[in-house]
Amino acid sequence: MFREGLARLLGTYGGLEVVGETANGEEAVILAQRKKPDVVIMQVQMPFEKAQESLRRMRGVSPAPKVVIVTMFEDPHMMRELLKLGASAYVLKSSSSRHLIGAVRAAVFDPFSENVVVGMPLEALEETSEGSGGVLTVRQLEILLLAARGLSNRQIAVHLHITVGTVGRHLSDVYKKMEVGSRSEATRKALREEWITIMDVTQENEGGEPGQITDPIT
């Protein structure tokens, strides 16, 4: 019932097309090899080992689809392992449909969408970032781009529906990972490394103010 309801929900959003449904991971890999989808939504049940194996096999499909994990298990260990194995997103079933669709759209349309996590507690997310070196998460890259466009911490917080303190913590982590000390240094380095482009920074969306992102990743 969940799978059928999710398929109907996805079908109502422009730009998304459901090309197939399966009952288990083995069938999903076979169907992905035939249909070559951009993204696969994988519902994870126990035992965990089966989810790991299905994900490994799915990542072996050519071209490899992005994989969005949907699960009822609020398990930091499972989350970290599946993201490490190549899942693009880990979404709890208790999350809103808007957040789930946001994760799917990010996987389909955003080349930077990796390690999107929805519905897990802050402590679990912080554990995930340990040992990540200089790699920015999707949320950190999003905040860096908004900062590069000149938005204040308060404006970024309002835009992303998070607190000003959370924005500050993300920026602090960005500076530490990038080994810089300010927004301007971070922007210059991000442009130099081609994490963002001049067009990204100067983008002005139709019907919006300069610096706005009309479909943010959550």
CATH number of domain containing 92: 3.40.50.2300
Q: Token pair 């210059």 is at which residue?
A: 188
Is the same domain home to 39 and 79?
A: yes
Question: Are 88 and 182 members of one domain?
Answer: no
Q: Are residues 45 and 152 in the same domain?
A: no
135 vs 107, residue with greater confidence: 107
The mean pLDDT of the chain is: 77
pLDDT higher at 177 or 155: 155
**What pLDDT does 1 receive?**
59
DSSP 37: -
Q: Same domain for 157 and 183? A: yes
99 and 180 share a domain? no
Give per-residue pLDDT as tens, 108-147.
777 666 667 776 654 455 544 444 445 566 678 788 889 9
Query: Which single residue is written with the structure tokens 């810089």?
Result: 180
The answer as to whether 176 is a domain residue is yes
> Domain boundary residue among 87, 105, 129?
129
Contacts made by residues 45-48, CB under 8 angstroms, sequence distance 24+ = 45/71, 46/73, 48/78, 48/81
Residue 205 has pLDDT above 50, yes or no: no
Q: Are 18 and 125 found together in one domain? A: yes
108 and 145: one domain? no
Give yes or no: residues 122 and 35 share one domain: yes
Domain count of the fold of the chain = 2
Instruction: Answer yes or no: is 213 within a domain.
Output: no
Q: Which residue has the higher pLDDT, 170 or 11?
A: 170
Residue from 17, 22, 14 nearest 42 by CA: 22
pLDDT of residue 153: 94
CA distance 162 to 171: 13
Cα separation, 11 vs 3, whole angstroms: 12
Q: Which structural domain range is residue 191 located in? A: 138-202
| Residue 123 amino acid letter | E
Portion of the chain with pLDDT greater than 70, in percent: 78
Who wins on pLDDT, 45 or 205? 45
Radius of gyration over every alpha carbon of the chain, rounded to an integer in angstroms: 18
**pLDDT tens digits, one per residue of 4-30:** 777 887 777 777 888 888 888 788 889
The predicted pLDDT at position 133 comes to 47
Mean pLDDT computed over 65-89 = 84
Helix then strand count (H, E) for the chain reads: 11, 4
